[in-house]
Structure 1
Amino acid sequence: MTTRTPTPRLPQRIVCLTTETVEVLYALGEQDRIAGISGYTVFPKEARKEKPKVFAFTSGDLQKILAVEPDLVLSFSNLQAGISRELIAAGVPVYAFNQRSVEDILAMVETVGRLVGAEAKALALCAELEAVIATVRAEAATLPRRPRVYFEEWDEPPISGIRWVSEMIGIAGGVDVFADQARAQSAKERIIADPLEVVRRAPDIIIGSWCGKHFRPERVAARAGWQGVPAVAGGQIHELKSAVILNPGPVAIREGLPALAQLFRTWAEGGG
């Protein structure tokens, strides 16, 4: 009896429509499977040089994706429901992630690992990220005081932080003043209809991360009625680049979380 080599069943040509799955596949050493990426891919930097850009984020040409002959497309949330529907109709398998929390980010890493047969590496990566979380949490427990934090994801209209950001603020030792809005599914539900509500919640630190454009702290400080906000009066208006805090992948934990922790410790130890 002849032994037949099994036909590979794992995806060989993956299109990633968001940056975080690209980041994970590179971290797992599975980047050769990537056939196309989003034009908004940030991490790792080499991906932008090595991989064809076949889609933006919510817009693009279906034919450009089909041209790279994917056997799996990784998409994100209802924001990409339209292109996911078109791909499925065209006969392409689609896995739609919807990570919204820190735990969801870790689950996404594990799932990507399983999809490409690299489960052990994915579990090791999760363990590394969990160690970062544990270290930051332990250090936060030693802070002499905890800052009240307003995280602004967009300015016109002002939008408060999404769930994983709110959770990381807590892990790093801060108190998200809009934690009550963080679990909302859409950004529209996190719009702050009355900007003076920020004044009433009196944050000690304001962090801006305007996705896709440069943060302007002087504009925040000049908002009508905000001069008495502790963060404005104390000069505690900071920027965290959206690439390291608003992409729900390993970078948010590796870089975004420690950056938050450093801001809070500097403030807590008298720098604010």
Structure 2
Amino acid sequence: MNVLSIMLNRRGPARAAAAAAVLLLGACGAEKTMAPGAQSPQRVVCGSPAVAEIVFALGCGDRVVGVSDYTAYPPEARAKPSVGGLLNPNRERLLAVRPDLLVTQGRHEALAAFAHTYGIRFQSVPLDTLADLDSAIRAIAETLGVAGQGHALADGLCGELTVGDRDAPPRRVLLLLGRAPGVWTGLSTVGRDTFLGELLGLAGGTNVFADATGPYPHISKEALLVRQPEVILEVHPGGLTASQQARLLADWHIFADLPAVRQRRVHVLTNDFLLIPGPRVRQTARLLAAAIGGEARGE
């Protein structure tokens, strides 16, 4: 079970948040089918929001002729034709934009075979961890013939991600993905070997479920009492109304004995980039650091 299916099985804000969660599906390797010495591609389809953000950050947005559903950044990417979702691209639309390169994330054997059949170069990169992101930026840049920009972008990100207060002891952090107001079943968090779990550490926290099985484990509300988080971060990319946020925060009164609840360190984060393992992870790191190390939430 991945985080997209977890969140699509819910309703309301959690289901809306699944739009951004397509980025977290890049487990289990990568495929690359390209001719050695081939010319730099000029008509690129980006198969996920994260890939689109990487390509645009490399200065190659003018080559993009198609993007996946839910691609929203940068703004000029929204004007590009959509070729469908990461899991179910529309192959007629894909062929209609006449790409010479399809870049996506995760393992997609059927899509790789489709690209091969129609003579389209295919590249797929894992984007589960920060190391994956570093490698993906460099690999995509090389494919596009802009290796120098790739090294500069990746090196710059590496230098900007340690944003927590190094002099302060790390706080125990629980990160919840897309919980619906009033619902305490089917809770999902992040484990180790995920870019979000790694960012928690760089932002001054320690993940209370780092030892859980799998990258995005299900947890019980009883487990929250055992782990005793000092900071709780509820992630809902895509936005919530003020009343929805208030309901989420009010739900925590039943856990009055948790340090995070006692100290009013429960935060709802709604920024659209939170679940996207692309160049904006630097914003995610800063946002997490502010929530983890900042003052308690006011009344």
TM normalised by structure 1 equals: 0.82
Partner of 1:53: 82
Rate the CA distance shift 1:217–1:248 in 2: closer, same or farther, 3 A.
farther
- 1:198 and 2:228 matched: no
User: Offset of 1:224 from its aligned partner?
Assistant: 8.4
Q: Distance in 1 between matches of 2:152 and 2:116?
A: 32
Q: What is the SS of the residue equivalent to 2:159? A: helix
Deviates more, 1:235-244 or 1:169-178: 235-244
CA contact (8 A) 2:239 2:272 kept: no
User: Offset of 1:234 from its aligned partner?
Assistant: 2.5
Match of residue 13, structure 1, among 43, 53, 67: 43
- 1:207 and 2:238 matched: no
1:218-258 Cα shifts (integer Å, max 9, x gaps): 33642685232222232222123353221011101x20001
Deviates more, 1:34-43 or 1:237-246: 237-246
Match of residue 228, structure 1, among 253, 257, 263: 257
Partner of 1:140: 165
Rate the CA distance shift 1:202–1:217 in 2: closer, same or farther, 3 A.
farther
User: Offset of 1:56 from its aligned partner?
Assistant: 2.3
Rate the CA distance shift 1:76–1:57 in 2: closer, same or farther, 3 A.
same
Residue type of the partner of 2:46? C
RMSD: 2.6
Q: What is the SS of the residue equivalent to 2:102? A: strand
Q: Distance in 1 between matches of 2:74 and 2:250?
A: 34
Partner of 2:13: none
User: Offset of 1:93 from its aligned partner?
Assistant: 2.7
* Structure 2: gaps (5+ residues): 1-36, 180-184
Where relative contact order (Cα < 8 A, 6+ residues apart) is larger, the structure is 2
User: Offset of 1:70 from its aligned partner?
Assistant: 1.2
Q: Distance in 2 between matches of 1:196 and 1:8?
A: 56
User: Offset of 1:62 from its aligned partner?
Assistant: 1.2
Partner of 2:14: none
Partner of 2:207: 176
Rate the CA distance shift 1:198–1:87 in 2: closer, same or farther, 3 A.
farther
Q: Distance in 2 between matches of 1:75 and 1:242?
A: 23
Rate the CA distance shift 1:87–1:265 in 2: closer, same or farther, 3 A.
same
* Structure 1: gaps (5+ residues): 1-6
Deviates more, 1:203-212 or 1:81-90: 81-90
Partner of 1:263: 291
TM normalised by structure 2 equals: 0.75
Match of residue 158, structure 2, among 130, 134, 142: 130
**Higher normalized helix content (fraction of residues):** 1
